[in-house]
Amino acid sequence: MTALKKYQRLECGGLWRETPQDQRREVLVRFGDATLVLSDPKSGTAISHWSLPAIERINKGEEPPVFAPGTDASESLELTDPDMIAALGAVRHAVQAAASRPGRLRGVLLGGATLAVLAVAVIWLPGALVRHTASVVPPAQRADLGQRALDDLARVTGANCQNRLGLQALARLSERVFGPLDTPILYVMPEGVEQPLHLPGDVIVLPRRMIEQANGPEAVAGAALVERLRARAEDPIIPMLQYAGLRATLQLLTTADLPDEAIAGYGEALLRSPPLALPDAHVLAAFEAAQIPATPYALAIDPQGTTTSGLLANDPYKGLAPSPLIPDDSWIALQGICGN
């Protein structure tokens, strides 16, 4: 959530419970771009990633504050640092302001020129209306739309896999691929997802099949990396608004509200959408920068190598033994993320 720049790199200690029955555990809490990262204060190993817009205070009126990554989550985090508490309060305020105040988006971001663009777009250029609306949606509302799209997807696939050790391994892999300050939210759904997907708010959904069938984490890391590239090549709000339709898009632009019925079924439609093609050179440059071999990913999405021949032939780490992305025990845990 880049709107809250002043809180980036903010860190503090906290007390974390995985479930209400567990003992509290000291953790290092780091405020990232779109996530709250919880890690072991001794080893620095990521324990959990929380989506900033989803975080709720669950003991209003009591002290010290206790937070959770959603109203139905089992995890909780007790904080006493006033700066971190203020940061989470600012996030919540931003989400509520973007999602529930009629006219807020228009009043803050739009002027007379926007109304002129709107008039032309409604009459002549529906595509321009969609693109313009996408360009003015603030980060807090993007994250909220991403969570709503994920909830709609879960109606088809089931709720995301939540094995504790698997989630910790997924968080560790995400930090290895993207770094600690620019980490997307990664999810694995139990069924129905055959290819990586991305949603607004820097959300990436990975196929369970790819994780369970791979010989190592390189293919999964590559899938997340390429899907992040797709999300940045085309604004993920655009296909969502195209699905919602012109009337719903206009409502989002003028009232900052996108009706639930307008995006009902979007998750299922997304499962049927072909992935955006990317230039091999662009993909290979990203693999090289992240120090991840491209071959495991290329073979995972096309075992015959027909459509990925360019990646296979020009893999910057071809023939080299790559350094482990995550420890073996973390990879084993990640393969069991959809287990009990």
Distance CA 125, CA 119 (A): 9
Distance CA 65, CA 157 (A): 34
pLDDT at 96 over 80: no
Summarised one tens digit per residue, pLDDT across range 33-88 is 677 888 888 887 778 888 877 788 998 888 999 999 877 778 899 999 988 888 88
The contacts of residue 264 (CB under 8 Å, 6+ apart) are 152
Mean pLDDT of the chain: 85
Q: Does the bond joining 275 to the residue before it have cis omega, within 30 degrees of 0?
A: no
Altogether, the residues listed in the chain come to a count of: 340
Domain 2-99 carries which CATH code? 2.30.29.30
Give the pLDDT mean for 316-333: 86
Q: What does the pLDDT read at residue 113?
A: 47
Distance CA 178, CA 221 (A): 10
pLDDT at 241 over 50: yes
Q: What does the pLDDT read at residue 61?
A: 84
Q: Three-state SS for 204? A: strand
Q: Where are the domains of the chain?
A: 2-99, 137-234+276-335
Number of H helices, E strands in the chain: 16, 10
Q: Which of 184, 145, 140, 185 is nearest to 270 (CA)?
A: 145
Q: What does the pLDDT read at residue 3?
A: 43
Distance CA 98, CA 250 (A): 16
Q: Is residue 281 within 8 Å of residue 195, measured between CB atoms?
A: no
Distance CA 163, CA 212 (A): 14
Distance CA 186, CA 63 (A): 32
247 token code pair: 């009337």
- More confident: 97 or 23: 23
CB atoms closer than 10 angstroms to residue 329: 10
Measure Cα distances from 228 to 94, 179, 287 in Å: 24, 13, 12
Distance CA 197, CA 203 (A): 8
Q: Is residue 52 within 8 Å of residue 185, measured between CB atoms?
A: no
Give the pLDDT mean for 279-294: 95
Q: What does the pLDDT read at residue 200?
A: 92
pLDDT at 122 over 80: no
Distance CA 34, CA 25 (A): 23
45 token code pair: 């190993």
Vertex 198 angle, CA 196 and 204, to 5°: 75
User: Can you give the pTM of this predicted structure?
Assistant: 0.73
Q: Say which amino acid occupies 29.
A: V
273 token code pair: 């959408």
pLDDT at 229 over 50: yes
Give the pLDDT mean for 241-262: 89
Poorest-pLDDT segment among 109-113, 183-187, 190-194, 230-234:
109-113
- More confident: 101 or 65: 65
Give the pLDDT mean for 176-191: 88
Q: Three-state SS for 30? A: strand
Summarised one tens digit per residue, pLDDT across range 299-322 is 999 999 899 999 999 999 887 766
Q: Is residue 256 within 8 Å of residue 105, measured between CB atoms?
A: yes
Distance CA 73, CA 16 (A): 13
Summarised one tens digit per residue, pLDDT across range 22-31 is 889 999 998 8
